[in-house]
Amino acid sequence: MENQPIEDKMTLLSWRAPSRLFKKRDRVFFQTVIALVVVIVLILILINEFLLIGVVLSITFVSYVLATVPPQEIENKITRKGIETAGLINKWEELNGFWLDEKWGQNMLVLEKKSGFPNHIIILLGNADKKIVVDKINEHLPLLHVPDKTWVDRAADWLHRHLPLEKA
């Protein structure tokens, strides 16, 4: 009998995937964002909202970093206790259900938490077989329907369609 760590005996399925969604952005995207930020900052200067200028510049910097630095690859595991991602375990008792979604050509597993913030956990599937992942998780959690879009989601979609930050 092999000497394996106890944790390996508890792992039902594991796969490696990026830690977050990532889409390579082009120069036009950054130029458009900078133009919008300059206009917003000028308006905020006129109304003496210097604290908000700091907030806008901070959000712009974080957005720039997230758009230019590719995510690292992490290991995700489905275990008997829950779903482990990047070393953090989400216990089955703390989760309501799950569904699959897709964005920017990447398949995502979305876990709905019973309480706490954030109330959803998004795990990228990478090259993992969707059917096997669904079968393993479905032994512990119900497969939910993708929730209807809220007014915020619809507003964001409208803005994305009518004010694109990059070429189609």
What are the pLDDT digits (tens) for 47-69? Answer: 998 999 999 999 999 989 998 99
Mean pLDDT of 153-164: 80
Give 42 or 151, the one with higher predicted confidence: 42
How do residues 5-46 score in pLDDT, each as one tens digit? 444 558 788 888 888 888 888 888 888 889 999 999 999 999
Asked whether residue 10 falls in the same domain as residue 78, the answer is yes
Asked whether residue 60 falls in the same domain as residue 77, the answer is no
> pLDDT-derived band of residue 4, with 50, 70 and 90 as boundaries?
very low
Asked whether residue 62 falls in the same domain as residue 115, the answer is no
In terms of Cβ atoms closer than 10 Å to its own Cβ (0-12, 13-18, 19+), residue 82 is: buried
CATH number, domain with residue 105 = 2.30.29.30
What domain count does the chain have? Answer: 2
Residue 129 to residue 120: CA distance in whole angstroms: 21
Work out the mean pLDDT of the chain and round it to a whole number: 84
Asked whether residue 103 falls in the same domain as residue 151, the answer is yes
- pLDDT at position 13 is 83
**115 closest CA partner among 89, 99, 88, 95:** 95
Whether this model's pTM surpasses 0.75: no
How do residues 100-133 score in pLDDT, each as one tens digit? 888 888 889 888 888 778 788 888 988 888 888 8
Amino acid 101 reads D
Between the two ends of the chain, the Cα-to-Cα distance in Å is 56
Asked whether residue 59 falls in the same domain as residue 99, the answer is no
Asked whether residue 167 falls in the same domain as residue 114, the answer is yes
Domain that holds residue 17: 1-22+70-168
